[in-house]
Amino acid sequence: MWVFPLAAAGVAGAFSLSLSKGWRARRRPNLLAWAVALAMFALASGAAAWGLLWGWSSGVFRTYYLFGAVVNVPVLALGSIYLLAPRAAGHVAAFVVAWASLWAAFKVIGAPLDQVALATSSIPAGSAVIGESSRALSRAYSYAGFLVVVGGALWSAYKLRRRNQYDLRRLAVANSLIALGTLVVAVASGFARYGRGAVFAVGLLAGISVMFAGFLKTRPGPG
């Protein structure tokens, strides 16, 4: 099963690099936020592959849980806010997300872990390894970020679909793909919290691949 999170790490890393290049060229903060979010997905997926291949340590699990189940979706949401809202609103959201991420890191790094539950050959269930306060934080962050990302993408896609220009229709399709990919990843992360490691690994690969397709669709091209 390690091949799926390893592949997801590769796809997420490629997505992050592409977005980073776009940010360096255009300096759009939404691209930077998305690049950071996809780097987080790559870290989480890489940690999952490491744990499946060589065993789970506390550090590997904390990396997997923090970047795969807590802070990744809020940072994706920050990118959507920068894309759709005024720049000032994006800066306020960035401040909130930064402090929320620091608080999440403090909670996850300091949380006691069940070492017996970590001794598994599959992806361990967050519900068996880490305490309820960290899991509640994960749920709150994921739900809030999910609503912003998917709601914003669907809203912008709806607005763009009502226009006739080809480029705008293409961007509407791209936004819809990003929303769908985020939905798949959010559902997969929910399975990870409750020990469905195989579903998480396959869902993560599928969701990141769909988001990557959405990003590629934003590039101008024929037809």
In the predicted structure, residue 223 carries a pLDDT above the cut 50: no
For residue 60, give both structure tokens: 């590997």
53-62, 70-79, 123-132 — which one is most confidently predicted on average?
A: 53-62
Helices (H) and strands (E) in the chain, counts: 10, 0
Q: Counting beta carbons within 10 angstroms of the beta carbon of residue 188, is it exposed (0 to 12), middle (13 to 18) or buried (19 or more)?
A: buried
pTM, two decimal places? 0.87
Summarize pLDDT for 144-178 with one digit per residue, the tens: 988 887 787 777 767 666 665 666 667 677 777 88
In the predicted structure, residue 17 carries a pLDDT above the cut 70: yes
**Gap between the Cα atoms of 109 and 203, Å rounded:** 26
The packing angle between helices 197-217 and 29-54, to 10°, is: 150
**Gap between the Cα atoms of 76 and 196, Å rounded:** 23
Summarize pLDDT for 104-113 with one digit per residue, the tens: 999 999 999 9
The pLDDT assigned to 173 comes to: 77
Fold of 3-217: Rhopdopsin 7-helix transmembrane proteins (1.20.1070)
The pLDDT assigned to 43 comes to: 94
The pLDDT assigned to 217 comes to: 76
Lowest-confidence region among 36-45, 51-60, 100-109, 190-199? 190-199
> For residues 41 and 211, is the Cβ–Cβ distance under 8 A?
no
The pLDDT assigned to 166 comes to: 62
For residue 182, give both structure tokens: 């985020």
Length, in residues, of the chain: 223
In the predicted structure, residue 102 carries a pLDDT above the cut 90: yes
The pLDDT assigned to 180 comes to: 87
Summarize pLDDT for 113-149 with one digit per residue, the tens: 999 999 988 888 888 899 999 999 988 998 898 888 7
Summarize pLDDT for 180-222 with one digit per residue, the tens: 888 888 777 767 666 566 677 788 888 888 887 887 776 665 5
Cβ-proximal residues to 121 (8 Å cutoff; 6+ apart), any chain: 52
